[in-house]
Amino acid sequence: EAGVAQSPRYKIIEKRQSVAFWCNPISGHATLYWYQQILGQGPKLLIQFQNNGVVDDSQLPKDRFSAERLKGVDSTLKIQPAKLEDSAVYLCASSWGSHTEAFFGQGTRLTVV
Amino acid sequence: GDSVTQMEGPVTLSEEAFLTINCTYTATGYPSLFWYVQYPGEGLQLLLKATKADDKGSNKGFEATYRKETTSFHLEKGSVQVSDSAVYFCALSYRNNDMRFGAGTRLTVKP
C-alpha cells in the first residue's frame, strides 16, 4: 500500500514570505496529523483532523499557521508570514482510528532565512 | 496534560552491548504506548507498541513492557548492532488519537 505522501521535500524561503505544504494520507485513514519537528526535539502536534473536521488545533499558532482538509482526504498546511523560528521539519501522519499507530511521511524540511 | 518523558541522550554503546532507553508517561487514563525510530535521513517508523497494561511489544529484537504501576515503557535490546544507530521516540496515544512524543534519544552504536 502507498505510504503518506508529502511535498515538497525541501523549501527555503525568506522571513515574512508565505509557504504551503501538501500531504496525501494513506487511503482510508480518517485521522490526519501535522507535526512540527524542530532540530533535536520530538515532533510537536500542530493540528489533528478526523475526516474533514478539526479535533485538536490547540498548539497551532493561528495568527500565522492555517491548515485545511476540505474533502477529508489530502491536506495543506500554510504559514504566512514565516518567521525564522518556523525552520523545522513538518511531518504529516495518518492513522485508522483510536489508539492505532500513526504512519508518517518523509516530511518537508523548511528553512527560513 | 498527557505527556511522555524519555531519557536524554545521546547514548553511545559498543556493538553487542545491552540497551535500555527509559520512558515514563503521564496520562489521566489508559493510553496506548509506542516506540518510534528515525534512522538517518528517513522518516519516523513504528518500532513497537502496547495497548494495555502488562502488554509487551517487540520487534527486531527490541522489547518494551507497559508498566501501569510505574507508568513506564522502557525500551530494551539485548545486543545492539551498528545498524540500530538512530533516534528513538517514545509516544502515547490517548483519547482522540492525539499522538504525543517525547524529545527523542539518539543512539550511536560503534563497531
Q: A60-93 pLDDT, tens per residue?
A: 999 999 999 988 899 999 999 999 999 999 999 9
Asked whether the beta carbons of residue B104 and residue A93 sit closer than 8 angstroms, the reply is: no
User: pLDDT band at B99, cuts 50/70/90?
Assistant: confident
Question: Do A77 and A23 touch, CB atoms closer than 8 A?
Answer: yes
Q: Which of B25, B44, B95 to mutate to test the interface with A (most CBs of A within 10 A)?
A: B44
Ramachandran region of residue A35, left (φ > 0), alpha (ψ -120 to 50) or beta?
A: beta
pLDDT at B49 over 60: yes
Mean pLDDT of all residues belonging to chain A: 92
Using DSSP, state whether A84 is helix, strand or coil: helix
Residue of B32, B84, B80, B76 whose CA lies nearest to B58: B76
Give B15 to chain A, closest Cα distance, Å: 24
Q: B61-93 pLDDT, tens per residue?
A: 999 999 999 999 999 999 999 999 999 999 998
State residue B97's pLDDT score: 61
